[in-house]
Amino acid sequence: MPAHPMTTDATILSQTTSDLQQYLRFDTTNPPGDVRAAVEFLGSLVRRIGLPSQVLTADERAGKLNLLARLKGSGAAKPIVLINHIDVVPVEREKWSVDPFGGELRDGTIWARGALDMKAMGMAELAVVAMLKAFGCRLKRDVIWLAVCDEETGGEQGAKWLVEHHYDLLDPEFVIDEGGGGSRGLLTSDDRIVFAPSVNEKQILWLRLTARAPGGHGSMPEGETAVEILQQAIGRLWAAKARIENAADHPVVAEMRRRLGRLAENRYTNSITKHTITLTSFRAGVGEPPKVNVIPSEASATLDCRLLPGVEARHMLAQITSALADPRVNIEVLYEPTDEAISSSHETVLFRTIEQVVGELVPGAVVTPQLLPGGTDSRYFRSKGASAYGFEPMIASASDLDLIHSHDERIRVDEFHRMIRILHEVVRRVAQA
């Protein structure tokens, strides 16, 4: 007889922890984002479970591969997709306390780039599928495990490419992705545990600003240099920043306030209540290191702008252009929203199941939909009508979440196991509904 579905197999938990350590040792930094070796490893895990799978290749030479595995249901309801991304952001090795690609287990914590974003979630999702198969659960829906490339650079050859070219293989009713888990002391100032599945996310607008002027010898300046032109323009933008960023609450944030009351005041909640503009790079200089006595002929900077859903990028671009107030500064759009930012309903079978399971397994926790400040692959599925939720059900502190895209990224093993347990019960119930 199969184990009871509420039982989490200890052997699978132990094996998945070891698998996660091995997975984290693959350097899938993007750029360049070559995931071939990692996909081969993931394929071996899928074969061990005994699932049919296929590699969907967007660009073989660049190593842009995606892996799909399917646990078949009866087909009485549309599939649920468990999506995760293989690629990770770059590291500054000298700032890490450990090898960022070592997957080291120390005092109950696994350290590595991707531990939080989001290789642990990928392994947790695969463990869920393994348990569903091992327990012999009768499913009405296919459960699709989908590991994709390129999320950290916009999903061009990952989720976006799959939705554009292979949506017939997916066609889900529901998607579970990264982006909204449990926390304490993040969304509220009290000690409540809050699970906040994301139902929408801010829109991404990435810009490069470039100024050009004659270069020359540092001892003989003439007129404004490219560096000065750009620095002064950014100064004007920053003087207008508060006005440009100000915005009314999005309906999802209003629902958060209704359920939680007063939100905590921190950089996370600040980022979901308004537009944000962040200066992420400023580059100039001739030579490496730059020569002090050479005036560069070009200076550039990048802006990471995140817009509340419903605001068109062209309106933000117009305000930024007006604030820079210098036609000598060229504005290049590196990435802009292409689809309407659609919110998934928080009145679906999946969302209600999340509420039920969290209530059972984490008594006293509060559940609320949330607006995510970052971007995920969920947006591509929402644009096709699927209900997509960011849901990584571990309990993290604000300091834990600060490790994402930062130094010494790590995940506690007990929280990794909590994520598997909650995900398993949520997916089982929904796949049988």
Number of other CB atoms surrounding residue 17 within 10 Å: 18
For residue 21, what are the β-bridge partners?
none
CB 422 within 8 Å of CB 358 = yes
DSSP 88: B
Q: Which of 3-7, 123-127, 171-175, 305-309 has the lowest mean pLDDT?
A: 3-7
Closest CA to 28 of 80, 84, 98, 74: 84
Closest CA to 352 of 340, 343, 344: 344
Residue 341 pLDDT: 85
CB-based contacts of 315, cutoff 8 Å, min separation 6: none
Q: For residue 8, is pLDDT > 70?
A: no
Q: What's the CA gap between 49 and 286, in Å, rounded?
A: 55
Residue 124 pLDDT: 98
Q: What's the CA gap between 269 and 176, in Å, rounded?
A: 22
pLDDT tens-digit profile of 56-84?
999 999 999 999 999 999 999 999 999 99
Average pLDDT, the chain: 95
For residue 279, what are the β-bridge partners?
303
Residue 247 pLDDT: 85
Q: For residue 431, is pLDDT > 90?
A: yes
pLDDT mean over 148-169: 97
What pTM did the predictor assign? Answer: 0.93
DSSP 138: -
Q: For residue 307, is pLDDT > 80?
A: yes
Q: For residue 6, is pLDDT > 50?
A: no
Domains of the chain (ranges, CATH numbers): 10-201+341-431 (3.40.630.10), 203-335 (3.30.70.360)
Tokens 């490790």 correspond to 403
Q: What's the CA gap between 80 and 418, in Å, rounded?
A: 21
pLDDT tens-digit profile of 376-428?
999 999 999 999 999 999 999 889 989 999 999 999 999 999 999 999 999 99
Residue 9 pLDDT: 79
Count of all residues that appear for the chain in the document: 433
Q: What's the CA gap between 221 and 39, in Å, rounded?
A: 54
Q: For residue 198, is pLDDT > 60?
A: yes
Q: For residue 1, is pLDDT > 60?
A: no
Q: Using a pLDDT cut of 90, give the percent of the chain over it.
A: 93
pLDDT grade for 5, boundaries at 50, 70 and 90? very low
Distance of CA 424 to the CA centre of its chain: 21
pLDDT tens-digit profile of 256-275?
999 999 999 999 999 999 99
For residue 254, what are the β-bridge partners?
none
Q: For residue 2, is pLDDT > 70?
A: no
